[in-house]
Amino acid sequence: MLQAYAGKQDAYLYGPICVDETMRGQGIAAVRFAKFKDFLPEREGILFIKANNKASLQAHQKMGMCKMAEFTYEGTVFLVFAYNS
């Protein structure tokens, strides 16, 4: 992932985050994301998502993250997303 997109010098890796099916759609990921942004202001967060994980892609885009790159690992395509506080 970091070969596809290294981010800024002080960037940090965000995730993975797993939310139980019964708890999805309640804003849990958004709350966690907001806490990271509060705790690490002005730093770039980087994460990767499987390209076929539409729910995660939509959730992270809704939280303001942008696709920066993509890479393939063992035949699976991943998208690299990032945000700046």
Dump pLDDT digits (tens) for 9-32.
Answer: 999 998 888 888 899 888 888 888
E strand or H helix at 82, and its extent?
A: strand 76-84
- Torsion from C-alpha of 41, 44, 48, 53, nearest 10 degrees: 60
In a domain, residue 42? The reply is yes
Q: State the total domains in the chain.
A: 1
pLDDT band for position 75 (50/70/90)?
A: very high
In a domain, residue 3? The reply is no
Q: Which domain holds residue 68?
A: 12-84
pLDDT band for position 1 (50/70/90)?
A: confident
Phi, psi dihedrals of residue 65, rounded to the nearest 5°:
-85, 150
- CATH number of 66's domain: 3.40.630.30
In a domain, residue 7? The reply is no
The structure's pTM equals 0.83
Structure tokens at 56: 């995660």
Find out whether 81 and 37 touch, Cβ atoms under 8 Å.
no
